[in-house]
Amino acid sequence: MSAAAAAGTWKLGDLEVHRIGYGAMRLTGNGMMGNSDGTPIDRDSAVRLLHSAFEQGVNHIDTAAFYFSPLRSANELINRALSSWYGDVVVVTKVGPARDPSGEWLPMARPDQLRGQVEENVRQLGRDHLDVVNLRVGPGTASIAEHFGALTELREAGLIRHLGLSGVLPEHVAEAQTIAPVVCVQNSYGLDWRRADETGLVDLCGEQGIAFVPFFAVSGLRREAAAGQERDARVHSVARAHNATPAQVRLAWTLHRGPHVLAIPGTTNPAHLAENIAAGSLRLSEEELALLDKPDKDTD
């Protein structure tokens, strides 16, 4: 059994994936805000890292055409890795936001612009269709019907296999489900940021058989920032009990939230990659989960 298989599996439509995946944002040296300081990862090293993830059982990669820095494109690196890989890997991308070639953010795409974004991902990834496309919804968006309807047309045309959502509220999921099946919802969620619990989104996804895929599950409120020293005494306590790292405890807590909850931690460090994947075999006790779920945080 591969290391990633220890976390179990879930289906994105008819595509079965291990619950520990990989997020490609950090591969380019930049985050969503377009910061690109520091030396970008070497292309060969990036391909080796992705192959290592695949060898350890990761078969779910999260990416986007707007994950790029001046010298690196996440989609290009994934394309290189997949072109020399023999196994099946589900690639999930997202559309809606966009950046111009210089990296400047553009307004949210109109419904009629989504086809171009989908085709851009198809070209960059070197595929003839996309496994899953998430509509990334901007803050304050009321209705997503026109955008999701446009993606549904592209699914019917064969460019997309399955549809998902990102950055949404329960009402967006309900609206989309009246148009076409939603196979996953990707929102910011973790031990320190549980808005999706407050809105009921995590449970709603479980009830409807939709994968809930949190991002920033490890970094939490630090978001794209580099990993800092763990300050939560509860996390340290549980980590010591399992001879695990704080990041592994945070990932394990996320996966314990429900069998439909996946994880897509990203890293450029091979050792951290192995640790993240190994977190799928970490089993927390009811007492440990209760400790981590306490509303009041004790910090060092």
pLDDT in tens, the chain (300 residues): 899 999 999 999 999 999 999 999 989 875 545 444 567 789 999 999 999 999 999 999 999 999 998 889 999 999 999 999 999 999 999 999 999 998 899 999 999 999 999 999 999 999 999 999 999 998 888 999 999 999 999 999 999 999 999 999 999 999 999 999 999 999 999 998 899 999 999 999 999 999 999 987 675 454 444 555 677 889 999 999 999 999 999 999 999 999 999 999 999 999 999 999 999 999 999 999 999 987 644 444
d(CA 191, CA 251): 9
Q: Do the beta carbons of residue 122 and residue 161 sit within 8 Å?
A: no
> In sequence order, which residues have a C-beta less than 8 Å from that of residue 127 and are 6 or more positions away?
91
Which of these is catalytic: 22, 67, 86, 189?
A: 67
User: Can you list the positions of beta strands (E) in 84-224?
Assistant: 90-95, 98-99, 105-106, 130-136, 160-166, 182-188, 211-215
d(CA 279, CA 288): 15
Instruction: Please name which of 283, 290, 286, 189 lies closest in space to residue 234, comparing C-alpha atoms.
Output: 290
Q: DSSP for 204-266, please give it.
A: HHHHTT-EEEEESTTTGGGTTSPP----BHHHHHHHHHHT--HHHHHHHHHHTT-TTB-B---
Q: Which letter does DSSP use for residue 104 in this model?
A: -
Give how far Cα 168 sits from Cα of 143, 165, 201, 291, Å: 11, 7, 9, 29
For 61, left (φ over 0), alpha (ψ -120 to 50), or beta? beta
Backbone angles phi, psi at 181, to 5 degrees: -60, 140
User: Could you give the 3-state DSSP secondary structure of residue 170?
Assistant: helix
86 is catalytic: no
Specify the pTM: 0.93
The vertex-212 CA angle with 252 and 119, nearest 5°, equals 125
DSSP β-bridge partners for residue 263: 20
Q: Do the beta carbons of residue 15 and residue 131 sit within 8 Å?
A: yes
In terms of DSSP H, where are the helices of 38-143? 43-55, 74-83, 114-125
Single-letter amino acid, residue 56? Q
pLDDT at residue 217 in the model: 66
Q: DSSP for 23-41, please give it.
A: E-GGGGT--TT----SPPP
Single-letter amino acid, residue 26? R
> In sequence order, which residues have a C-beta less than 8 Å from that of residue 64 and are 6 or more positions away?
25, 74, 75, 93, 94, 95, 97, 121, 136
- The count of residues in the chain is 300
pLDDT at residue 39 in the model: 73
**HSE of 26 in the Cβ direction (CA atoms, 13 Å)?**
21
d(CA 290, CA 176): 34
Backbone angles phi, psi at 102, to 5 degrees: -85, -5
User: Can you list the positions of beta strands (E) in 192-277?
Assistant: 211-215
